[in-house]
Structure 1
Amino acid sequence: MAELRSRTIELLAPAKDIACGIRAIDCGADAVYIGAEQFGARKAAGNSLEDISRLIEYAHHYFAKVYVTVNTILTDDELPEAVSLIHRLYEIGADAIMVQDMGLLEADLPPVPLLASTQTNNTTPQKIKFLEDVGFRRAVLARELFIEEIRDIREQTSIELECFVHGSLCVSYSGQCYLSYAIGGRSGNRGECAQPCRKLYSLVDSEEKTIIDKRYLLSLRDLNLSEYIEELIDAGVSSFKIEGRLRDEAYVANIVPYYRNKLDEALARKQLRKASSGRATIDFTPDPLKTFNRGYCDYFLHGRTDTIVSPHTPKSTGEPLGTVTCTGRDYFVLDATHDIHNGDGICFFDAEHHLQGTNINCVDGGRVYPSSMKSIRTGLFIYRNYDHEFVKHIQKADIIRTIDVVFTVRGDDKKLLVRARDEDGIEVSGEYPVSGDTAKNRDMMLDTIRKQFSRLGDTKFRCAGISVDLEIVVFIPVKDINQMRRDITDKLWRQRLNSYVRQESVIHRNNVPYPEKSLGYEANVLNMKASAFYKRHGVEDIRPAMESGIDSAGKKVMTTRYCILHQYGICRKAGKTGTEYKPPFYLVDETGKKYKINCDCKKCVMELYF
């Protein structure tokens, strides 16, 4: 129990750019992850070293961390560039680098901690123990894991465990999807996924009998594990990760405070500490239903369910509102109390289960007047996918993160000695000359000193207390007191940055055996150093990555724990119906291309073949 209570728990937020990163820190994130100009798994979310450096400096004032993603697989030509980039990131203060390519561990890296990206397919205790033994500080767990599997990993390892708790879901195990590359040459392992999983497919059997026609059969709902924070802490998770490096500031400003609140409640109950300093204050109530979502699920955390897929649309449906009870020529009425506003966006599924939408022009009493009444009928369920007032509030929100500070003021009629000590025990002091007559009203002057030192609205601090003890109280102009306050808080802000201690970690090469002796293209080995890494760890047969240019025809291009056959009632292992259909089964895309489905029932996974 003592070991459990010594842990710090981290809320990790995405940063598309420096603005999103700073907003995440202000909203209470203990760490942010951001992509550099190259080699990130979200190629569209790259950032300059200058911007990353500014974000690092801002975060470190709060003892928050910045992790940089260099998590694509690399060619032999790219590897030296990636190593050079990591050196530069270390020089500007990055706290850790998130990587996928094992070739980097054969290179001359600076002493910066390495985090094993979820792209390294972290699903078993054996794999994660290996990552720990070769020098990784942390492993990002596969999203598909059952809670029991997370517990097993924790029991057999001591590496930090990072777990996704919110955001979009990849239908395939991360790092094990080659569908985008096979179709059009855009590899998810290279940061260029075209998201073919969000396209329309039909499910047919071996006789081409259509079982399901033109649905988004691979498109999953979004993840929301906010109700299971304590359970995940008990299972051994120390970093709670929000997905969304392509999302905007509004997403960050809504979702980060929501999880900050949830996490703080859990930490208080479990007597654990958060991983950074300060307290975020926001002037609105965060609500994940008002941010982009396809409907939420807890994925496989508590086993297999039938509520993880979004077959009718890959787009955001947003917030459920209610059912239409009656309609007029240009209005409708809902069965539930609502707060629909002018300018809101609503959506619904028409009779053919296609997502439709319109804007709201006016609300009068219980009547809602949309821009178009097309397809709106009695019995239709309405969602709101854009809350105009909520978005406007977030954009104008007063969000500030402050650090508690206590002031001590001592002195006489010649000088004041001011000390400021913050919540982390960091202390600065300043000596300020004073001159003037003895104050006519001693108590009023002391009260003025307290009041002016407490006015920290233009700083990142919050006054948690002030002690004033003066031998002789002289009159001090308010402007002079304000200057003392500004000077001492500026000193403290600078001292916080100087006091930040960055963790370092050196990779010591060893020959700890890899759990397997043979690796197929699914190991994503694209360069000679990655091959050398696995050979040093006892792997005897290493096949090149799919992205090396091998022919994808007939190859497995997706491995997923989600099973379409189970989802739609034709899984024989589960004892479901559908025996009138003859295997093997296929997915057929809009071009007529067929993908064979293979179910590995022993592992309870579905595989898709090109």
Structure 2
Amino acid sequence: MKKVELLAPAGDLERLKIAFTYGADAVYLGGEIFGMRSAAKNFTIEDMKEGLEFAHERGKQVFVTINIIPRNEELDQLKAYLLELDQIGVDAVIVSDPGVFSVVKETIPNMEIHISTQASTTNSLASNFWYNQGAKRVVMARELSFEEIKRIRDNAAEDMDIEAFVHGAMCMSYSGKCVISNYTTGRDANRGACAQPCRWKYTLFDEVSLGEYEPVVEGIDSSFFFNSKDLCMIEYIPQIIQSGITSLKIEGRMKTAYYVATTVRAYRMALDEYYKDPQNWKFNPMWLDELKKGSHRDYSTGFYFNRPDDTAHNYESASYIRNYDFIGIVRGHEEDSDLVIVEQRNKMNVGDKIEIIGPFKETMQANILEMYDEKNEPIESAPHARQIVKMKLDIDVEKDYMLRKPILTIRAL
């Protein structure tokens, strides 16, 4: 059985390496131009080179986004950029604009092309059109059901890849087509600069007569009625594979390395378990629990089973849910000692009871027994951002393992 691809976001070089370490088959990333995530750190050409080398040494792939809808003046630098990507060995480019598509075909004809979800492909005719133009892969619009995707698969060429988002933030509009951000802030969603006004608080009034207004919902002054829940499909791995999706895409190029690690790790475990025995695969609630230990909104299944109803939005809050703090990442071991070198990400203390995750490993419980600073002086806590500490734990850990601890909530009596 040909296995599906697990495709992870990479907002920078560290997250690229973490994605592959924790089980991704491929990553997608943006360069400094032509990408849809201007707020992400994004990659210089030199960073891409290093990331490609890291990926290819492990038999993995790197896809680069060129999925904005460009203006005429931006096209002048497109050909030179494409030639650079081709020269360094990028595996595929992700495009949405027909003009960009034509320039790719003309400039680097052997480059694999993926059609972005920004193209809003929702039917067989559109996906086959792109394939016949030379696209290898079509990313489905987020607004499709399993039934619709299966119909596209059944009417597509056998070697056309179908990619679909299975996890992450959802758009309240057709993906990337919202103009509220541009109208309210001048920040263009199709330039990668969306201000996410769908997460803002609004008050909705109805004009009952000329100049007279009443709240639509009595007793509620404001509401987050554009605020979509996050997508999470980890409970439905068999349905995903049976629909004909060949690449499972995780959203989140602006998320942290910890988010990438926890999300990739959970889906990797679920997929690996499926391929052991597809007929008897059972959902393990631990996988969902792991996803909830990262920063997230409430989850939904998006459009996969039917059109979302009013339960697919959170009307009370647009805030992320955080139950755990990511406190550090293992960078290595001190020579001739049992101390672990950790880069701090949130405050930790001697005596903390923590959890540790690693690639292809079950979650581990541990205690911080001792800590030392870079001068080998004993310390009781590590409060400084990205502080390098040496610590003694009561279990063995490896490079790139991640440390976390529960957030304690103090409630008034």
What is the TM-score of this pair, normalised by structure 1? 0.50
In the alignment, the residues of structure 2 paired with residue 177 and residue 228 of structure 1 have an alpha-carbon distance, to the nearest angstrom, of 29
- Deviation at 1:184? 2.3
Preserved CA contact (<8 Å) 2:23 2:359: no
- The one of 220, 223, 226 aligned to 2:234: 226
**Displaced runs of 4+ in structure 1, greater than 3 A?**
386-394, 397-401
- Deviation at 1:206? 3.8
**What are the ranges of 5 or more consecutive residues in structure 1 without an aligned counterpart?**
272-283, 320-339, 344-385, 402-456, 460-610
Preserved CA contact (<8 Å) 1:257 1:286: no
- Deviation at 1:29? 0.3
Map 1:487-502; keep pairs closer than 5 Å. Answer: none
Amino acid at match of 2:6: L
Deviations 1:248-293 (A, max 9, x none): 111111111000011112222349xxxxxxxxxxxx9970111111
- Greater Rg over alpha carbons, structure: 1
- Deviation at 1:393? 4.4
In the alignment, the residues of structure 2 paired with residue 392 and residue 87 of structure 1 have an alpha-carbon distance, to the nearest angstrom, of 48
1:290 aligns with 2:289: no
Which residue of structure 2 lines up, in the alignment, with residue 300 of structure 1?
303
In the alignment, the residues of structure 2 paired with residue 87 and residue 40 of structure 1 have an alpha-carbon distance, to the nearest angstrom, of 16
- Deviation at 1:398? 4.9
Which residue of structure 2 lines up, in the alignment, with residue 31 of structure 1?
26
1:14 aligns with 2:9: yes
Relative to 1, partners in 2 of residues 1:9 and 1:189: Cα closer, same or farther, differing over 3 Å? same
In the alignment, the residues of structure 2 paired with residue 391 and residue 118 of structure 1 have an alpha-carbon distance, to the nearest angstrom, of 42
1:311 aligns with 2:315: yes
Map 1:392-541; keep pairs closer than 5 Å. Answer: 393=355, 398-399=358-359
- Deviation at 1:186? 1.2
In the alignment, the residues of structure 1 paired with residue 251 and residue 58 of structure 2 have an alpha-carbon distance, to the nearest angstrom, of 22
Relative to 1, partners in 2 of residues 1:26 and 1:123: Cα closer, same or farther, differing over 3 Å? same
Preserved CA contact (<8 Å) 1:72 1:101: yes
- Deviation at 1:105? 2.6
In the alignment, the residues of structure 2 paired with residue 95 and residue 391 of structure 1 have an alpha-carbon distance, to the nearest angstrom, of 43
**What are the ranges of 5 or more consecutive residues in structure 2 without an aligned counterpart?**
280-286, 328-345, 362-396, 400-413
Relative to 1, partners in 2 of residues 1:29 and 1:194: Cα closer, same or farther, differing over 3 Å? same
- Deviation at 1:195? 0.7
Preserved CA contact (<8 Å) 2:177 2:189: no
Relative to 1, partners in 2 of residues 1:286 and 1:306: Cα closer, same or farther, differing over 3 Å? closer
Deviations 1:127-159 (A, max 9, x none): 212111111111111112111111111111132
Relative to 1, partners in 2 of residues 1:203 and 1:70: Cα closer, same or farther, differing over 3 Å? same
Amino acid at match of 2:320: S
Preserved CA contact (<8 Å) 2:231 2:300: yes
Preserved CA contact (<8 Å) 2:202 2:225: yes
Which residue of structure 2 lines up, in the alignment, with residue 126 of structure 1?
125
- Deviation at 1:305? 3.2
Relative to 1, partners in 2 of residues 1:387 and 1:215: Cα closer, same or farther, differing over 3 Å? farther
Relative to 1, partners in 2 of residues 1:387 and 1:307: Cα closer, same or farther, differing over 3 Å? farther
Which residue of structure 1 lines up, in the alignment, with residue 282 of structure 2?
none
In the alignment, the residues of structure 2 paired with residue 169 and residue 37 of structure 1 have an alpha-carbon distance, to the nearest angstrom, of 24
Relative to 1, partners in 2 of residues 1:289 and 1:235: Cα closer, same or farther, differing over 3 Å? same
In the alignment, the residues of structure 1 paired with residue 262 and residue 146 of structure 2 have an alpha-carbon distance, to the nearest angstrom, of 27
Relative to 1, partners in 2 of residues 1:285 and 1:204: Cα closer, same or farther, differing over 3 Å? closer
Relative to 1, partners in 2 of residues 1:121 and 1:388: Cα closer, same or farther, differing over 3 Å? farther
1:51 aligns with 2:56: no
Give the aligned length: 322
Aligned partner of residue 89 in structure 1, secondary structure = helix
Preserved CA contact (<8 Å) 1:164 1:243: yes
- Deviation at 1:57? 0.8
- Deviation at 1:109? 2.3
Amino acid at match of 2:214: K
Deviations 1:498-545 (A, max 9, x none): xxxxxxxxxxxxxxxxxxxxxxxxxxxxxxxxxxxxxxxxxxxxxxxx
Which residue of structure 2 lines up, in the alignment, with residue 209 of structure 1?
214
Amino acid at match of 1:152: R
**Cα RMSD over matched residues?**
2.8
What is the TM-score of this pair, normalised by structure 2? 0.72
Which residue of structure 2 lines up, in the alignment, with residue 171 of structure 1?
172
Aligned partner of residue 99 in structure 2, secondary structure = helix
Map 1:271-282; keep pairs closer than 5 Å. Answer: none
Which residue of structure 2 lines up, in the alignment, with residue 259 of structure 1?
267
- Deviation at 1:89? 0.9
Which residue of structure 2 lines up, in the alignment, with residue 72 of structure 1?
68
Relative to 1, partners in 2 of residues 1:218 and 1:36: Cα closer, same or farther, differing over 3 Å? same
Amino acid at match of 1:312: E
In the alignment, the residues of structure 1 paired with residue 248 and residue 347 of structure 2 have an alpha-carbon distance, to the nearest angstrom, of 27
Amino acid at match of 1:144: E
Deviations 1:303-342 (A, max 9, x none): 13332101111111245xxxxxxxxxxxxxxxxxxxx99x
In the alignment, the residues of structure 2 paired with residue 124 and residue 152 of structure 1 have an alpha-carbon distance, to the nearest angstrom, of 8
- Deviation at 1:104? 1.6
- Deviation at 1:94? 0.7
